[in-house]
Amino acid sequence: MVKRAKAEGVKTVRIHTLLDGRDVGETSALEYIDPFEALLASLNGEGFDARIASGGGRMKITMDRYEADWSMVERGWQTHVLGEGRQFSSAHEAVETLRRETGAIDQDLAPFVIAENGTPVGTVNDGDSVIFYNFRGDRAIEISKAFDDEAFDKFDRVRYPKVIYAGMLEYDGDAHIPSRYLVNPPEITNTMGEYMANSGIRQAAISETQKYGHVTYFWNGNRSGKFSEELEDYLEIRSDVVPFEQRPWMKCAEITDAMIEAIRSGKYQYIRCNFPNGDMVGHTGNFLATVVSLEALDLQLARLLTVIDEVKGVAIITADHGNSDEMYETDKKGNLKTNKDGSYKAKTSHTLNPVPCIIYDNFYSEGYEVVNKDGYGLANVAATTVNLLGYEAPAMWNESIIKAK
């Protein structure tokens, strides 16, 4: 994009970096920043000026989701747009200094501003064009609202520059956020939620804020609305606004309370929920906190399965990826990697291990058998679920992992 901007005659480009350390190595930021700054240096000259202007950890600024903590977005606005924050001469210097002073991993690094002679090199001003080049929607919606909505009221923007704002994609197809985007989003149809609504199946979706969108927005093919107001109920349990490792049990007990109430109500044929513990706490890289998070979740599963037996129901227990299963990084030979101080290097990213899929059924399993086949994955869960409900899966779906005896 920077190269194309130069080719199109753009004279000034500023990049506002968001550091990961979550879906990549916990301290890998300079592996991206250093070659990128070298690229910018190679492009600069002949009237073209491209630089990194600000940054910070993605769990500290800008990239909140599901309106869990608008203060993150406010800090991002102050950093990227207003140029307010601790100043450094380069992104490299900022990352090294903040790591040394705080011991934080990349996702938790404080915001920083690149400046020359005390003046930020890249505030956002009237007449600028702003592109948010994240392709995934959940953490892109809130900052898009801040740029795109003149009546925005979630925090005091102090200054609202008149810019042309675009996302890489349209992040919310129902609410049309943002109004401008570079690439048409994928049109996802024939989802399980849509099929169930069209089949008259009453369903509920429950999670806490951190994963609420996973059982609603993502579940419905990047749609924020319901397919049927009459047949669908969604319940969000507000997440605590604290670091996950400080409260690793999160809201798993409250989610279970809500699930038990929904099951015993007899209103629903199908209920889905997401327990965020293994993912969100696993991302912190804190081994002991992750152990606590999963022990807490085990207690809640025991409660939940007891009630499922009480109503003669069936549960499918699975995950979309691993995370808590590997808490330390290893080399290609399987040896644990270490930090400079000799401690083991925490793994904060998702793993590539297969995840379990457990069908918990104490009442109907004599009528079907589970098929074990290489290549089964999440795409097979939808057909399995509707088959267990007694419905035929649509032909375009991947096959069920059960078949009638």
Q: Which residues pair with 112 in a beta bridge?
A: 55
Question: For position 349, which CATH number holds?
Answer: 3.40.720.10
Residues 21 and 156 in one domain: yes
Residues 173 and 226 in one domain: no
Instruction: Specify if 379 maps to a domain.
Output: no
Instruction: Specify if 360 maps to a domain.
Output: no
110/278 Cα distance (integer angstroms): 25
Instruction: Specify if 155 maps to a domain.
Output: yes
Residues 143 and 235 in one domain: no
Strand ranges in 255-388 using DSSP code E only, listed in sequence order: 270-274, 315-318, 357-360, 368-370
- pLDDT for the residue 24: 86
Residues 8 and 110 in one domain: yes
The pLDDT of residue 185 is above 90: no
Is residue 107 classed as helix, strand or coil in its secondary structure? helix
Instruction: Specify if 70 maps to a domain.
Output: yes
Instruction: Specify if 241 maps to a domain.
Output: yes
Residues 45 and 134 in one domain: yes
Is the omega angle on the peptide bond into residue 354 within 30 degrees of 0, that is, cis? no
Residues 175 and 199 in one domain: no
Please state, as a whole number, how many other Cβ atoms lie within 10 Å of the Cβ of residue 61: 29
Place of tokens 């956020």: 177
Q: Which residue range is the domain that position 259 belongs to? A: 192-311+321-354
Residues 71 and 154 in one domain: yes
- pLDDT for the residue 341: 85
Domain termination residue (choose one: 151, 183, 215): 183
Residues 348 and 307 in one domain: yes
Residues 119 and 168 in one domain: yes
Grade residue 277 by pLDDT with cuts at 50, 70 and 90.
Answer: very high
Q: Which two tokens stand for residue 329?
A: 């990084």
Task: Note the pLDDT tens digit of each residue in 202-243.
Answer: 999 999 999 999 999 999 988 888 999 999 999 999 999 999
pTM, rounded to two decimals? 0.78
Helix, strand and coil in the chain, % to nearest 5: 30, 20, 50
Question: For position 85, which CATH number holds?
Answer: 3.40.1450.10
Is residue 209 classed as helix, strand or coil in its secondary structure? helix
Instruction: Specify if 390 maps to a domain.
Output: no
Vertex 37 angle, CA 31 and 39, to 5°? 105
Q: What percent of the chain has pLDDT over 90?
A: 84
**Domain total for the chain?**
2
Residues 215 and 74 in one domain: no
The pLDDT of residue 120 is above 90: yes
Residues 125 and 234 in one domain: no
359/221 Cα distance (integer angstroms): 25
In this structure, what DSSP letter does residue 399 have? Answer: P
Short-list 355, 213, 330, CA closest to 278: 355
Task: Note the pLDDT tens digit of each residue in 43-69.
Answer: 999 999 999 999 999 999 999 998 999
Grade residue 324 by pLDDT with cuts at 50, 70 and 90.
Answer: very high
Residues 179 and 198 in one domain: no
Average pLDDT of span 166-193:
91
Task: Note the pLDDT tens digit of each residue in 2-59.
Answer: 999 999 999 999 999 999 988 888 899 999 999 999 999 999 999 999 999 999 999 9
Phi and psi, residue 177, nearest 5°: -115, 125
Q: Strands 119-120 and 129-132: what pairing?
A: unpaired
